[in-house]
Amino acid sequence: MLRLIRKFSTSIYAKILLVIIVIPFVFWGMGSSITGGNKNIVVSIDNEKYTIREFTNFINKNATKKIESIQIEELLSTFIGTKLIELEVEHYGIKLSNNSLAKLIKNQKMFKRDNKFSRTEYEKFLLMSNLTPVGFESILSNDEKKKQLLELIGGGIVSPNF
């Protein structure tokens, strides 16, 4: 048996087999074949991959105090839900123009004084909330797009009797 293995190892077939096995390791290594190249991916939805960096940015924006280990799972669920809604908004092509956003802001009750839009009330709100105008407008825009998506989806569905 050993003699057959020695004889095969000196043949041309053994050398071809050795080259086929060794060449990929020389040029590409083993790193990506072991990890699959998805080391820093938290979640993958369709073809979109979301990294640890995006998830930590999400946590930093939404967590106000120290996070317990149980809350990480809840934050991950919220992160995935947010990304799914963003993808659906993009899929349905829901957009909000600057004029519509301006009308939304001007019609907010908290920014009115004597039933008219007050820029000072708006700026006072931004200062009290520690928000920039761009940040607030982004939040308001995302909320309105989410609302329009839910109205689009739920508009044709008949709710069950129970």
Asked whether residue 161 is assigned to any structural domain, the reply reads: no
Contact yes or no for 94/145 (Cβ under 8 A)? yes
- pLDDT at residue 83, rounded to an integer: 92
Q: Token pair for residue 88? A: 């659906």
- pLDDT at residue 159, rounded to an integer: 62
- Asked if residue 99 and residue 89 are part of one domain, the reply reads no
- Asked if residue 149 and residue 127 are part of one domain, the reply reads yes
CA–CA distances in Å: residue 33 to residues 25, 26, 29, 41, 44: 10, 13, 8, 16, 19
Q: What percent of the chain has pLDDT over 90?
A: 37
Tens of pLDDT, residue by residue over 56-76, are 898 888 777 788 878 888 889
Rg (CA), the chain: 28
Q: Token pair for residue 15? A: 């050398």
The total number of structural domains that make up the chain: 2
Looking at residue 62, its amino acid is: N
- Asked if residue 150 and residue 116 are part of one domain, the reply reads yes
Asked whether residue 73 is assigned to any structural domain, the reply reads: yes
In this predicted structure, the answer to whether residue 31 has a pLDDT above a threshold of 70 is: no
Distance, CA of 46 to CA of 86 (rounded, Å): 13
In sequence order, the 6+-apart residues with CB closer than 8 A to the CB of 40 are 51, 52, 53
Distance, CA of 87 to CA of 35 (rounded, Å): 27
Give the chain as a 3 state SS string. CHHHHHHHHCCHHHHHHHHHHHHHHHHHCCHHHHHCCCCCEEEEECCEEEEHHHHHHHHHHHCCCCCCHHHHHHHHHHHHHHHHHHHHHHHHCCCCCHHHHHHHHHCCHHHEECCEECHHHHHHHHHHHCCCHHHHHHHHHHHHHHHHHHHHHHCCCCCCCC
Asked whether residue 118 is assigned to any structural domain, the reply reads: yes
Asked whether residue 52 is assigned to any structural domain, the reply reads: yes
Asked whether residue 100 is assigned to any structural domain, the reply reads: yes
pLDDT band at 43 (very low <50, low <70, confident <90, very high): confident
Residue 112 structural domain: 95-156
